[in-house]
Amino acid sequence: MSRVWALFKAHPYISNVVGYTTLFTSADLIQQSMLGGTSKKGHKMASDGTEGKLSVDRPEGTPGAIQSKPPEVSAQLREAELSSSSASKTVPALAGIDWSQTARVAVVGFCFHANFNYHWLRGLERMVPGGGAKRVSGKVILDQLIAAPATISAFFIGLSVLEQKDDPFEDWRQKFWTSYMTGVVYWSAMQAVNFSLVPPVARTVFVGGITLVWTVFLCHFRQQ
């Protein structure tokens, strides 16, 4: 732990930006893993991640009848079914990940969010230095009035631009206010902890940890 802290003190910019971007990108992977890999009723996931319909063997020329098999064949079939079921359950969670989407989230996180938060939090500490309830409250209010709208807007607009949508502001118009009003409650509490307990040198990566949960919500909300 002391080595990590020494790294932060020696290289605050690199440590915070890289740490923030890693957490920001991980949020999209978590969101995709949570939503993917769920089999529909009457379907199963094949070992390659594709979905196939369950079928029942029927003897040729006797529609609807289930073919009876000798006990040893039935035992082999049951064993094969168990193996297939086990294989389907152990399909890697990353098999269905849209890596292009994750790459876009990483680009937005690195190019804007990580750098913006690093410089914003340093500037905010210079504008309102120190702790105490009054100063912490002032920082939280400024953060929600300035940083929150900027970061949410950059998320929706930035991803739409990278996806080359005809109207890059469509997602922003539809989802900004819901995201912002939800974030005011969450971020006010988290930033109060950040400004009260976390040293300024590590605040960006702490925000990255908070953002891990928040970005899972944004990524999921954007897919709706």
Q: What is the pLDDT of residues 1-25, one digit of tens each?
A: 566 667 666 777 888 888 889 988 8
Instruction: Calculate the CA 12 to chain-centre distance.
Output: 24
pLDDT at 39 over 60: no
- Parent domain of 154: 14-35+98-223
Using 50, 70 and 90 to split pLDDT, how confident is the model at 72? low
Q: Which pLDDT belongs to residue 46?
A: 42
Does residue 184 lie in a domain region? Answer: yes
Asked whether residue 30 is domain-assigned, the answer is: yes
The C-alpha atoms of residue 202 and residue 1 are separated, in whole angstroms, by 13
The residue type of 51 is E
Higher pLDDT, 222 or 102: 102
| Helix residue ranges, H only, 55-147 | 71-89, 99-108, 115-127, 133-142
Cα–Cα distance for residue pair 214/173, rounded to 1 Å: 19
Percentage of the residues of the chain whose pLDDT score is greater than 70: 68
- Is residue 126 situated within a structural domain? yes
Is residue 108 in some structural domain? yes
Q: How far apart are CA 51 and CA 44, in angstroms?
A: 6
Q: Could you give the CA distance from residue 172 to residue 178 in angstroms, rounded to a whole number?
A: 10
Residue 178, domain member (yes or no): yes
Quick one: pLDDT band at residue 47, thresholds 50, 70, 90?
A: very low
Compare 111 and 56 and report the one with higher pLDDT: 111
Question: In the chain, how many domains are there?
Answer: 1
Residue 163 lies inside a defined structural domain of this protein: yes
3-state class (DSSP) for residue 197: helix
pTM: 0.68
7 inside domain: no
Q: Which neighbouring-strand residues pair with 51?
A: 45
